[in-house]
Amino acid sequence: IGYDFLYAGAGYGGSCFPKDVKALIKTASDKAGLQLKVLHAVEEANAQQKHVLGNKVKKRFGDDLRGKHFALWGLAFKANTDDMRQASSLTLIADLLACGATIAAYDPVAMESARAEIGEKPGLRMVESQKLALQGADALIIITEWKEFRSPDFDHIKASLKTPVIFDGRNLYDPQWVRSQGFEYLAIGR
């Protein structure tokens, strides 16, 4: 896997890792009669991890998110791809919409794939830039670690948001520095 993927975050997706874990579980069961408890736990933990950001949003803004609007940066399961297979953003979007929130979502590459995967959902609007996603949002949520999200214009973010709150599902920023800029910063595992 390498160091690029061994960080706390909003869960894994894509085609390879989820498929490989399932294949190992099935092969061990079918060929050797073994139940690989650790790999079952990996799948369960990943499924739960995909709800962490949504739970942080609900803890901060309440379970009833009607009237709340969120900017979502990132849709693909990881940066540098348009792959939406088992992307953590799908779980987050479902969680927030189920609570009555609205979302403006942006991804630098995966917009077309996201539209094909998600379809039309009431309360979800796909937008063409980071800045458009921020307009009128109560908070910013980052779920994919795109390079262009690593050095944003924090002054613009703060001026655009109704409340200066950032939920960072990929731990892109130094918490102390972001907080010193007047943001409430909620990351994962920090």
Which amino acids are annotated catalytic? 16
Say if CB 124 and CB 118 are below 8 A apart: yes
Task: Give the whole-angstrom CA distance, residue 15 versus residue 34.
Answer: 24
Strands (DSSP E) found in the chain:
69-73, 102-106, 124-126, 139-142, 165-168, 184-187
Q: How far separated are the first and last CA of the chain, in Å rounded?
A: 22
Joined together, the tokens standing for residue 188 give 């994962």
Going across the sheet that includes 102-106, the strands are 124-126, 102-106, 69-73, 139-142, 165-168, 184-187
Say if CB 171 and CB 8 are below 8 A apart: yes
Burial string for 99-128 (b: 16+ CB within 10 Å, else e) reads bebbbbbbbbbbbebbeeebeeeeebebbe
Task: Give the whole-angstrom CA distance, residue 130 versus residue 150.
Answer: 12
